[in-house]
Amino acid sequence: MASLSLIIITKNEAHNIAKCINSTQGIAEEVIVFDSGSTDGTQEICRQLGARVYETDWPGFGPQKNRALQEAAGEWILSLDADEQLSPELKEEIITILNGEHNNAVSYSIPRKSSYCGQFMKHSGWWPDRVVRLFKKSAGKFTDDIVHERVIFSGKLAELKGCIIHNSIVSIEQSIEKMNSYSTSGSMRLTELGVRTSITRAIFKGLWAFFRTYILRLGILDGRMGFILAVANAEGVYYRHVKTWVRQRDQSK
pLDDT single digits (tens) 158-183: 999 999 999 999 999 999 999 999 99
Do the Cβ atoms of 33 and 75 come closer than 8 Å? no
Is residue 9's pLDDT more than 80? yes
Q: What percent of the chain has pLDDT over 70?
A: 100
Edge-to-edge strands, sheet with 164-169: 84-86, 164-169, 112-116, 119-120
Is residue 252's pLDDT more than 90? no
Residues 232 and 50: their CA atoms lie apart, in Å, by 37
**Measured on CA atoms in the order 209, 212, 215, 219, is the torsion positive or negative?**
negative
Predicted local distance difference test score (pLDDT) of residue 36: 98
- Over residues 45-69, the mean pLDDT reads 97
Predicted local distance difference test score (pLDDT) of residue 101: 82
Is residue 10's pLDDT more than 90? yes
The overall longest dimension of the chain from CA atoms, in Å, is: 61
pLDDT tens readout for residues 12-40: 999 999 999 999 999 999 999 999 999 99
Nearest to 212 by CA among 199, 225, 229, 187: 229
pLDDT tens readout for residues 201-232: 999 999 999 999 999 999 999 999 999 999 99
- Three-state DSSP string of the chain: CCCEEEEEEECCCCCCHHHHHHCCCCCCCEEEEEECCCCCCHHHHHHHCCCEEEECCCCCHHHHHHHHHHHCCCCEEEECCCCEEECHHHHHHHHHHHCCCCCCEEEEEECEEEEECCEECCCCCCCCCCEEEEEECCCEEECCCCCCCCEEECCEEEECCCCEEEEEECCHHHHHHHHHHHHHHHHHHHHHHCCCCCHHHHHHHHHHHHHHHHHHCCHHHHHHHHHHHHHHHHHHHHHHHHHHHHHHHHHCC
Fold observed for domain 4-168: Spore Coat Polysaccharide Biosynthesis Protein SpsA; Chain A (3.90.550)
Do the Cβ atoms of 161 and 128 come closer than 8 Å? no
- Over residues 60-79, the mean pLDDT reads 97
Is residue 110's pLDDT more than 80? yes
Predicted local distance difference test score (pLDDT) of residue 147: 87
- Over residues 72-83, the mean pLDDT reads 98
Predicted local distance difference test score (pLDDT) of residue 140: 97
All structural domains of the chain with their residue ranges: 4-168, 171-251
pLDDT tens readout for residues 225-246: 999 999 999 999 999 999 999 9
Q: How confident is the model at residue 190 (pLDDT cuts 50, 70, 90)?
A: very high
- Over residues 72-79, the mean pLDDT reads 98
- Over residues 51-70, the mean pLDDT reads 97
Q: What percent of the chain has pLDDT over 90?
A: 95
Q: How confident is the model at residue 51 (pLDDT cuts 50, 70, 90)?
A: very high
Do the Cβ atoms of 136 and 78 come closer than 8 Å? no
- Over residues 4-13, the mean pLDDT reads 98
